[in-house]
Amino acid sequence: MSRRFLAAVLLAVVLPAWSQQPPKLEPLPEIPPPPPGVSSEQPGEPTVRIQPGGGDQVEEQLIDGRRVVRVTTPLGQEYYLVEDLGDGPGLRNESLDRGVRVPLWVIRRF
């Protein structure tokens, strides 16, 4: 048992000494400014389109290639409609797929 313990201690001391040193890295060059005529908006920020209307406030976003519609009722309740496949022009089910598409209600926020 003492040989195993001695071997484990020896490995615990020697292995870190044999560890490889990380290479010295050079800093990356600064990002050039965008060319003229190109929006300086951050890439990946979703654009939000708010539709004026009667009672409900409807906000549309494009997130990861899928259209997400956020509807806020006059009482302040929110629900979301999300495209499942992201390949259709709208949120309607136009194929033979009879999958259920239900609104996603916000139950609790943390």
Of 50-59, 74-83, 90-99, which gets the smallest average pLDDT? 90-99
Confidence at residue 34, expressed as pLDDT on a 0 to 100 scale: 75
Q: Is residue 55 within 8 Å of 65, Cβ to Cβ?
A: no
Picking from 40, 107, 39, 104, the residue whose alpha carbon sits closest to that of residue 66 is 104
Q: What is the DSSP string of the chain?
A: -HHHHHHHHHHHHHHHHHSPPPPPPPPPPPPPPPPTTS--SPTTPPPEEEEP-SSSEEEEEEETTEEEEEEE-TTS-EEEEE-SSS-SSSSS--SS-------EE-----
9, pLDDT greater than 60: yes
pLDDT level of residue 105 (50, 70, 90 thresholds): low
Confidence at residue 71, expressed as pLDDT on a 0 to 100 scale: 82
Average pLDDT over residues 46-59: 72
pLDDT level of residue 68 (50, 70, 90 thresholds): confident
CA 16 to chain centroid, in Å, comes to 38
Residues across the chain: 110
pLDDT level of residue 61 (50, 70, 90 thresholds): confident
